[in-house]
Amino acid sequence: MIRFPVWLEVENFRLSAHRGATVFAPENSIESLQEAVARGYGAVEIDIQMSADGQIFLMHDPTVDRTTNGTGIAKDMTMEKLKSFKLKTDNYPNLASKTMRIPTFAEALEVLTGQKIVINVDGSKWDWTDDVFITKVITLLKEYKLYDWCFFVLTNKTQRDYLTSKYPDACVTWMTDNTTQAEKALDEISAYKRAFVSMPLSIASNDLIAECRKKTNYIHVYNVESQTEMNRLKLNGVSLVETNTLLP
């Protein structure tokens, strides 16, 4: 059975803030990470990309249009250009007078280092066979002493296997859409030094969770927005629950 002592010796259950604590601040912003730390979340999920001049930054979408006052494809811009845009605060009246910028990965890690908070690095926004990108990401995580506090969500198996061939101790997981995929993932996690099963709430039945716990003591369930469901998952031994709205 695979075990993750760095995480589990500190706390057996964690609530993860999807894209940061977006109840209180814009997604993938420094403020959303600060709020996640202050509110007591045990984990945060972030999305990362690389700028035209090789800096890693936080953003979910391919373009800056939805989340900033700018327009254009994010990866085609320099970090200086990305920093010239303001993050939108339309849904946060209390932040209307505050100017917030797209954060670099390093700036985000500065907030999280030393906090004993798990970092979910969403790998769907870049090609993880890109050696330059991978090296920059891993180097920064190690520099801030957060490599052992993170995992990478890489649903593309080719990219997942490439990362773990370079860094065998990288902790990985991947999204599953149905029970069959989740059961297959249970058989596949043993191929990695550090890996665990992730699944959406829609398939996270008590029976499936029990089956998973026979092979791993770490289970991640996402798309959870109900306190009742969170309590059920926690009671049944799920270690990590990801949410947009629930509070610790």
Residue spans of the domains in the chain: they are 5-243
Query: Residue 43 forms beta bridges with which residues?
Result: 16, 118
- The whole-chain average pLDDT of the chain stands at 95
Backbone angles phi, psi at 171, to 5 degrees: -90, 125
Q: Is the pLDDT of residue 34 over 50?
A: yes
What does the pLDDT average to over 171-200? 94
pLDDT value for 106:
99
What does the pLDDT average to over 195-210? 96
Alpha carbons 126 and 79: distance in angstroms, whole number: 16
Beta strands in 62-149 (DSSP E): 118-122
Q: Are strands 240-243 and 14-18 parallel, antiparallel or unpaired?
A: parallel
Q: Is the pLDDT of residue 27 over 90?
A: yes
What does the pLDDT average to over 22-50? 99
Task: List, for residues 4-19, the tens digit of each pLDDT value.
Answer: 546 755 457 999 999 9
**Fold classification of 5-243 (topology level):** TIM Barrel (3.20.20)
Alpha carbons 30 and 59: distance in angstroms, whole number: 12
Residue type, 51: S
What six digits make up the tokens of 231? 């309590």
pTM metric for this prediction: 0.96
What does the pLDDT average to over 129-143? 99
